[in-house]
Amino acid sequence: MMDGSDRFFRTSEPTITRSNRSTYRRKKSRINRGPKDQKRKKEKKKDQRKMALAKAKELVSSNPVVVFSKSYCPFCVTVKQLLTQLGATFKAIELDNESDGAQIQSALAEWTGQRTVPNVFIGGNHIGGCDDTKALNKQGKLVPLLTEAGAIAKSSSS
């Protein structure tokens, strides 16, 4: 006879219905985050950053000028406008539009010590951000660097 005491004992695994399935999955994934899982995730992140660093280095070595940028960043807009005004060709990588943009940004921070964008490279050398690029221009050093790198055509008179 049912006296109500059996209400507190579960005789089998709870039934997973359509309504509680996603909650169950979420809980299960949280439970699985043991030390092994965390180590695997850390290694995956490290691998992704390694790949991103290789990609950034390849871009820098195969283009006269590279601007790692974000499409909405006003400092990036300024640098790109300055380069355009000087008649320089450059490759802009809009990190916010790249699937591995965050990894590239972290890799650049590791490589150059600079985490902010724009992150400018000329002739394979790290230049810096917007302020650094503008300062070089003010000192009259930017155009020679761009010319030497092949981003501005050498004038025939010189």
Ligand X SMILES: N[C@@H](CCC(=O)N[C@@H](CS)C(=O)NCC(=O)O)C(=O)O
Binding site residues, ligand X, CB under 6 A: 70, 73-75, 116-118, 129-131
- Long-range pairs of 33-40 with CB within 8 A, sequence gap ≥ 24: none
The distance of closest approach from Cβ of residue 20 to ligand X in the complex, given in angstroms and rounded to an integer, is 39
The residue among 75 and 111 lying less far from ligand X, judged by its C-beta, is 75
The distance of closest approach from Cβ of residue 133 to ligand X in the complex, given in angstroms and rounded to an integer, is 8
Cβ-closest position to ligand X? 129
The residue among 34 and 74 lying less far from ligand X, judged by its C-beta, is 74
CB 70 within 8 A of CB 98: no
The distance of closest approach from Cβ of residue 102 to ligand X in the complex, given in angstroms and rounded to an integer, is 9
The residue among 37 and 131 lying less far from ligand X, judged by its C-beta, is 131
The distance of closest approach from Cβ of residue 52 to ligand X in the complex, given in angstroms and rounded to an integer, is 15
The residue among 101 and 150 lying less far from ligand X, judged by its C-beta, is 101
